[in-house]
Structure 1
Amino acid sequence: MKLTTHLISAPLHTPFITALRTATHADSLLVELSDGSLSGWGEAPQVWKVTGESLAGAQACVEGPITAALDGLGPDDLTEALRRVQNAVAGNFGAKGAVDTALHDLAARRLGVSLHGFLGSTVDTVQTDVTLSVGDADALATAAKARVADGFDVLKVKVGTDAAADVERVRRVRDAIGPGPRLRLDANQGWSRRDAVNAINALEDCDLELVEQPVVAADLEGMAWVTDRVGTPILADESVYGVRDLVAVIRHGAADMVNVKLAKCGGLAPARTLLELAREHGIRTIVGSMMESHVGVGAAAALVAAYPTSAVNDLDAAWWLRDAPVTGGIRYNGALIRLPFEPGLGVTGLSV
């Protein structure tokens, strides 16, 4: 098998603004794994403020220790290949996730089945929320109405810059869209524990579905403190990369839910473990995305199709792209992601 890497920088149609960063492009490393006749694809996004991993580092990891670890294996050795990828290097979850996905994609293609079918799914659509970037109250209200008109009925509002102002912004969004659409918040670690409790309790009448990562990732005691003092479910995101992190969240009682992301945990195989562990311990789940293209989001959507989660998933990342950097793959139809009927991820190559 041969691994090839491709660097992409895909422009967004609208700037994506959170408490941590402002993005105008989706910068990713696409990984192509070939058996000589077919290719599987995977993706490692660059999200400095979350994972700390760079494209250069991911590329070096894939082309160096991961390629070496797979040396001598054939395309039918999926289980062993996945084990070797995870053991090839410490950390580097984005790089591992990209190759893990490419291995699954190639295995599905060799059988002539879709990736979601390979994972055990019989459905070909999944629903996603859509994110409203950080902005002033008027801008958020306008964007919210536009997204509802686009067919989205679960909106995620980025907050975490200023708790008092956040409350006003969220109220304006709820007033703009009415009581029907579901509303969830993502603070991206931006609040203190006290600000989080005050803001969430002040918004009880806005019927929030959940609040994601209200405090800094390492402060599990602080997040447990928030969870104990609010009625709205708390979703752990940046606090959970792998199994050890999820176990710590469970032991601390730090969150009611967990957001599983391929680029954080290292791919489809670790993600399935996290989803199963969460379910066994009564932790509700969603699957999310970083700022990824149709490759990374397609893999996450295939996972969701086969492993249903507790709430609508957060897979709108590729919707933000002005143009797809690859041909084939998933398509958005309002809040629905349509999975391909073609083998694997359905990706046939780069579009440029």
Structure 2
Amino acid sequence: MIKLEAWVVELPLPEPFRISTGVSEKSRTVVVRLITPEGLEGWGEACPSKSVLGETLEMVVEAVRKLGRISVDYTSIEAIHEYTWSLQAPSSLAAALDMALLDLYGKTVGRPLWRLLGGYRDKIETDITIGIMEPEEQAKRAVKYVEEGFKILKLKLGLEPDKDVERVRRVRDAVGEGVRIRVDANQGWSAEEAVRVIDRIASYDVELVEQPTRWDDWEGLRKIKRESPLPIALDESVKTPADALKAVQMEAADIINIKLMKTRGLTGALRVAHVSEAAGLKNMIGCYGETRLGMTAHVHVAQALRNIAYYDTDCDLLTVGQAFTGGASIEKGIRRVGEEPGLGRLAPVWDKFTRVL
């Protein structure tokens, strides 16, 4: 049997972070540690989303307390997937256990997860996200990040269509050419508004538009993709491999955003990526509010798979302080995980942790 331990980790944000569906002031996650009878440790993280997954931190804590010790063959990736995919628990908790079990697997065989899962690239370049704010403030923030070395910006939009266009214009004028701009409406526009906004912002050299309208408005999404001059990425609409297949069948996307909390972990992420690749769609990898632990797992997946071509792995860069040291490095937008086994060397900053199991 494998011993399970869990903590709540809370990190403040330097300022309220606004998207079209709400405002966040802190990151709250559940960190788990698995300990084998031989003393081997595997780490994972659950970052629930009430608006997308219907999960709360309290639900995850309650579920993890019910689990106690667990039994699974962590030397088999397929057995890990079978366990976490069928587990009657919140999706984010399944993701945390999948992460921790794979960490054990990698440490058992002495290889990093990114090499075991595909080993395609040894680094990625992440964007940095700017929440919704007044256009001139968004432009100032964009300049600050570019000066720090980031070359890809992700702008949150979706509250006011006309002002959204102004936000994109101001940012492009401020940063000039050579900086990639992506936008994410987080379901904030109607299909008609999305078509109008996308047509207007296309002249500002926007790379892609993410989740322009409601997650379940498949006809609207198909209309937007058909009429859009820019690639359309889906996030909230696609959680599982079956959702990815529906996006393909509805001809509603060019890109599918993978997040480990939606896919119940890394093993589920592989399956979404494979469906996407088979259909000729590219993948992005994104995040909710994970600490350095969760973001390290995302970077492993991003380095592993050829079909993941867009990287939004900045959640741990947006908090005040860190819950872990080590893990995925960051330098001027470039992230990488190296050759340490499993997830790599991560050390908890214990004063950020509150024990729940």
Does the alignment reach a TM-score above 0.5? yes
Equivalent residues in 2 for 1:169-318, closer than 5 Å? 169-318=167-316
- State the secondary structure of the residue aligned to 1:180: coil
Deviations 1:297-331 (A, max 9, x none): 11110011110335331111111122210232122
Provide the rounded CA distance (Å) in 2 between the counterparts of 1:7 and 1:310: 30
- State the secondary structure of the residue aligned to 1:241: coil
| Structure 1 range deviating more: 138-147 or 119-128 | 119-128
The Cα RMSD (Å) is: 1.7
Gap change, CA 1:24 and 1:248, over 3 Å in 2: same
Residue 335 (structure 1) aligned to one of 322, 329, 333: 333
Partner of 2:101: 103
Gap change, CA 1:156 and 1:117, over 3 Å in 2: same
Gap change, CA 1:321 and 1:233, over 3 Å in 2: same
Partner of 1:27: 28
What is the letter of the counterpart of residue 239 of structure 1? S
| Structure 1 range deviating more: 119-128 or 164-173 | 119-128
Partner of 2:355: none
Provide the rounded CA distance (Å) in 2 between the counterparts of 1:105 and 1:195: 44
Displaced runs of 4 or more, over 6 A: none
Is the Cα–Cα contact under 8 Å of residues 285 and 302 in structure 2 kept in the other structure? yes
Q: Percent identity?
A: 32
Equivalent residues in 2 for 1:34-49, closer than 5 Å? 34-36=35-37, 37-49=39-51
Is the Cα–Cα contact under 8 Å of residues 139 and 174 in structure 2 kept in the other structure? yes
Is the Cα–Cα contact under 8 Å of residues 126 and 337 in structure 1 kept in the other structure? yes
Provide the rounded CA distance (Å) in 1 between the counterparts of 2:62 and 2:341: 29
In the TM superposition, residue 60 of structure 1 has moved relative to its aligned partner by: 2.6
Provide the rounded CA distance (Å) in 1 between the counterparts of 2:165 and 2:78: 48
In the TM superposition, residue 228 of structure 1 has moved relative to its aligned partner by: 0.9
- Give the structure-1-normalised TM-score: 0.94
Gap change, CA 1:335 and 1:309, over 3 Å in 2: farther
Equivalent residues in 2 for 1:41-80, closer than 5 Å? 41-64=43-66, 70-71=70-71, 73-80=72-79
- State the secondary structure of the residue aligned to 2:189: coil
Query: Any stretches of 5+ residues in structure 1 without a counterpart?
Result: none
Is the Cα–Cα contact under 8 Å of residues 77 and 267 in structure 2 kept in the other structure? no
What is the letter of the counterpart of residue 83 of structure 2? R
Query: Any stretches of 5+ residues in structure 2 without a counterpart?
Result: 351-357
Deviations 1:236-275 (A, max 9, x none): 0000000121111111111111001100111111100110
What is the letter of the counterpart of residue 97 of structure 2? V
Provide the rounded CA distance (Å) in 1 between the counterparts of 2:141 and 2:23: 17
In the TM superposition, residue 172 of structure 1 has moved relative to its aligned partner by: 0.4
In the TM superposition, residue 39 of structure 1 has moved relative to its aligned partner by: 1.0
- Give the structure-2-normalised TM-score: 0.93
Is the Cα–Cα contact under 8 Å of residues 326 and 347 in structure 1 kept in the other structure? no
Partner of 1:89: 88
- State the secondary structure of the residue aligned to 1:265: coil
Number of equivalent positions: 348
In the TM superposition, residue 100 of structure 1 has moved relative to its aligned partner by: 0.4
Provide the rounded CA distance (Å) in 2 between the counterparts of 1:99 and 1:122: 24
